[in-house]
């Protein structure tokens, strides 16, 4: 969110201008990120499913990454905040569960941003996930690129991540789990 | 009592109550895990289950039509109104007890959700499909731990076997149908639990073998959770879980 004092009048006016076209709305919502992975927008994550404007109401459809994702309330608040600031008169946020979220929906931009944040993006497609007790995927280190890595724990700092260690550069890193 | 609830509400309550009570039990490990990674893992699994419970109980409240939401159902029901199976309310015990409880439940949960993902009820199918992805990780985690404990040191083997002997009699309830299950299965909404037995066996048997654990005999078993007849442990759990909203009704922060 941009601070008030530093903001020029022109920019304030531009921010208040109603954003109505669908592509403009998607653009506005680029400002909404997952608080647990700042830097990635909900669009990058595939959490943002649809945006529609009709009769003065902007309807935003989102889907949770995990059933217990504690960020959903915050994301919903951010969506309202960003759209109202952009001039929307009313905002409705709908949460859908089907089809259920998959890491296959991470955009290419999102994967690149994850790497920049030091988080390894999901390897392979969720649709082709190995069976129970199947081998864990080979995950290259997001820092040094080494494939000499190992899993420390399948459950990491948030529901969507596992904890890995790179034996090349000796740094630990998060891996965005494939689901 | 819930005697007058329609079968669909009852069925949704059972799904939600299982997830919430086990999620709460696992959350008791937060800050007490045997290793940092395991503390985080158990808390993550707790979070998944509590999230799933919120979804199921939310739908149960709508289905009931009496204006109760997921929070009302979680915090304002007394012990006789809970519909979870007895297994999930059993205390954490040592780490082996927690892992055995989790493994027996995960195997059932996975098979059940696989079936429910094809439910004729679109809401049930959507929640189940989502939860199934999470439970696939849970089952893998508990199964791998059970193998490590059973096929580990003499001490870990003895504790894992003792935990299995302790909890085995609570697992039968997971695979038995009553009138609610039968009606939900007949309407294409739910799954007949006894039909899950082959899938459950196919998951449990190889893991016990690899863990070098002896499958207990079926001489003793106990049931009743789905009818609201619980072990003494559930009341204590609810007293802690419900304390704040009951002491400070409608508190906000």
Q: What is the rounded average pLDDT of the residues B178-202?
A: 95
Contact A70 B47 (CB under 8 A): yes
The pLDDT confidence band at residue B216, using thresholds 50, 70 and 90, is very high
What's the pLDDT tens digit per position in A55-69?
Answer: 889 999 999 999 998
pLDDT in tens, B40-86: 999 999 999 999 999 999 999 999 999 999 999 999 999 999 999 99
Residues of A in contact with B50 (CB under 8 A): 68
Residue-wise pLDDT for B98-142, tens only, equals 999 999 999 999 999 999 999 999 999 999 999 999 999 999 999
B140: which chain A residues are within 8 Å (Cβ-Cβ)?
Answer: 132-133, 154
Residue A19: its pLDDT value, please? 46
Closest chain B residue to A103 measured between Cα atoms? Answer: B133
Q: Which residue in B41, B131, B140 is closest to A67 by CB distance? A: B131
Residue A17 has pLDDT above 50, yes or no: no
Helices B122-150 & B197-210 angle (0-180, nearest 10): 20
> In this predicted structure, what is the pLDDT of residue A126?
61
Q: Which residues of A touch B49 (CB under 8 A)?
A: 68
Q: What is the mean pLDDT of chain A?
A: 84
Task: State pLDDT tens for residues A151-169.
Answer: 988 888 888 899 999 999 9
Pick from B107, B112, B139: nearest CA to B125 = B112
Q: What's the confidence (pLDDT) of residue A132?
A: 40
């Amino acid at each position: 969110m941009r601070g008030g004092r530093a903001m020029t009048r022109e920019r304030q006016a531009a921010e208040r201008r109603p954003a109505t076209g669908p592509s403009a709305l998607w653009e506005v919502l680029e400002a909404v990120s997952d608080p647990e992975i700042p830097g990635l927008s909900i669009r990058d994550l595939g959490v943002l499913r649809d945006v529609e404007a009709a009769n003065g109401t902007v309807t935003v459809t989102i889907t949770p990454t995990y059933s217990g994702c504690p960020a959903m309330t915050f994301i919903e608040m951010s969506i309202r905040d960003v759209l109202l600031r952009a001039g929307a008169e009313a905002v409705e946020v709908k949460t859908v569960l089907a089809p259920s979220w998959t890491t296959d929906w991470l955009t290419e931009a999102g994967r690149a941003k994850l790497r920049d944040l030091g988080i390894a993006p999901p390897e392979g497609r969720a649709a082709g996930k190995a069976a129970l007790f199947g081998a864990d995927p080979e995950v290259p280190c997001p820092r040094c690129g080494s494939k000499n890595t190992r899993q420390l724990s399948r459950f990491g700092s948030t529901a969507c991540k596992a904890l890995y260690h790179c034996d090349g550069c000796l740094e630990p890193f998060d891996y965005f789990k494939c689901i | 009592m819930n005697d007058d609830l329609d079968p669909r509400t009852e069925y949704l309550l059972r799904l939600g109550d299982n997830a919430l009570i086990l999620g709460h039990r696992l959350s008791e490990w937060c800050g007490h895990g045997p290793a940092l990674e395991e503390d985080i893992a158990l808390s993550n699994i707790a979070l998944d289950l509590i999230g799933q419970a919120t979804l199921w109980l939310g739908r149960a409240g709508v289905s009931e039509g009496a204006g109760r939401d997921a929070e009302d159902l979680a915090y304002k029901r007394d012990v006789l109104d809970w519909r979870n199976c007895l297994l999930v309310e059993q205390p954490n015990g040592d780490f082996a007890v927690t892992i055995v409880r989790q493994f027996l439940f995960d195997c059932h949960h996975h098979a059940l959700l696989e079936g429910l993902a094809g439910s004729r009820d679109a809401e049930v199918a959507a929640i189940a499909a989502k939860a199934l992805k999470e439970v696939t990780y849970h089952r893998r985690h508990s199964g791998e731990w059970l193998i490590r404990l059973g096929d580990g040191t003499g001490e870990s083997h003895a504790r894992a076997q003792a935990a299995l002997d302790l909890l085995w009699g609570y697992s039968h309830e997971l695979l038995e149908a009553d009138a609610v299950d039968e009606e939900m299965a007949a309407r294409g909404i739910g799954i007949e639990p006894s039909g899950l037995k082959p899938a459950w066996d196919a998951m449990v048997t190889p893991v016990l073998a690899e863990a070098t654990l002896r499958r207990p005999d079926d001489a003793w078993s106990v049931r009743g959770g789905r009818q609201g007849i619980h072990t003494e442990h559930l009341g204590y759990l609810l007293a802690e879980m419900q304390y704040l909203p009951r002491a400070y009704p409608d508190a906000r922060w």
